[in-house]
């Protein structure tokens, strides 16, 4: 991904202190532009309650709020959230470790998970799917595994998520596509993988 308001998933630290150290190492870690997958997939959706997972410095959350969404933005880094909240947009900024914290069930019309380190063997995916309200959207974006080293195989890709969706879900998008913005310097990320699913009941 182009550095933006969201941490990259694969190859990044997993614990709170490591994320703090990463954010504190630079005055601004990401570009401040919303992720292309979010913009492409959400542009036409009616606004409602949105959960931005791993919000980083807040670019996606601010973009959603500017389009009428009521946003709850989660991140494990207090430094990232302080930067994100500097521009007050009526967003609920929440410091949370999803592995240890509950998420309200069926509360959000959109759950957006962009380049978030979502491990296949964790319970976090189930929490996030359960957070989607009937009629709501689950949106997941990541790097194409062909652009990643083998050690990143333990992280979710759209096919992994599609396999655990039940009959109450309709998969609308499950694909790999060229990135809409350049990859960060020194990386080989040329394509994004995208899953968009709607909860029907």
CATH number, domain of 97, equals 3.40.50.150
Asked if the structure places residue 159 within a domain, the reply is yes
Question: Quick check: is 80 in a domain?
Answer: yes
Whether 7 is covered by a domain: the verdict is: no
CB 68 within 8 A of CB 93: no
Q: Answer whether 110's CB lies under 8 Å from 51's CB.
A: yes
Examine the pLDDT at 93 and tell me if it is beyond 80: yes
Range of the domain at 83: 16-199
Residue 16 makes CB contacts below 8 A (sequence gap 6+) with: 76, 77, 97
- Answer yes or no: is 147 within a domain: yes
Instruction: For residues 138 and 109, give the distance between their C-alpha atoms in angstroms, rounded to a whole number.
Output: 8
Q: Could you give the percent of the chain with pLDDT greater than 90?
A: 55
Judge whether 5 lies within some domain.
no
CB 32 within 8 A of CB 57: yes
Size of the chain in residues: 201
Residue 44's contacts (CB-CB under 8 Å, 6 or more residues apart) are none
Contact by Cβ (8 Å): 62, 87? yes
Pairing of strands 169-178, 132-143: unpaired
Number of domains in the chain: 1
**Model confidence pLDDT, tens digit, residues 8-24:** 333 344 576 665 655 55
Whether 3 maps to a domain, the answer reads: no
CA distance 129 to 126: 5
CA neighbours closer than 13 Å in the CB half-sphere of residue 146:
7
Are 137 and 45 contacting, i.e. CB atoms less than 8 angstroms apart? yes
Residue 2 domain-assigned (yes or no): no
pLDDT band at 49 (very low <50, low <70, confident <90, very high): very high
Is residue 11 situated within a structural domain?
no
For residue 26, name the pLDDT band (cuts at 50, 70, 90).
low
């Amino acid at each position: 991904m182009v550095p933006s308001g969201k941490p990259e998933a694969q190859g990044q630290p997993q614990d709170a202190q490591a994320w703090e150290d990463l954010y504190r190492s630079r005055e601004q870690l990401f570009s401040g532009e919303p992720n292309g997958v979010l913009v492409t997939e959400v542009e036409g959706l009616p606004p409602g309650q949105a959960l931005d997972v791993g919000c980083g410095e807040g670019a996606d959350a601010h973009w959603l709020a500017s389009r009428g969404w009521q946003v709850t933005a989660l991140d494990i880094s207090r430094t990232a959230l302080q930067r994100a909240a500097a521009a007050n947009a009526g967003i609920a900024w929440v410091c949370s470790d999803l592995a240890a914290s509950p998420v309200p069930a069926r509360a959000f019309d959109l759950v957006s998970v962009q380049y978030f380190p979502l491990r296949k063997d964790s319970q976090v995916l189930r929490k996030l799917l359960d957070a989607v309200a009937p009629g709501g959207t689950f949106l997941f974006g990541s790097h194409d595994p062909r652009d990643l080293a083998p050690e990143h195989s333990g992280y979710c890709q759209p096919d992994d998520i599609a396999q655990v969706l039940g009959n109450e879900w309709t998969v609308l998008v499950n694909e790999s596509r060229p990135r809409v913005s350049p990859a960060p310097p020194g990386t080989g990320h040329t394509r994004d993988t995208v899953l968009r699913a709607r909860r029907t009941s």
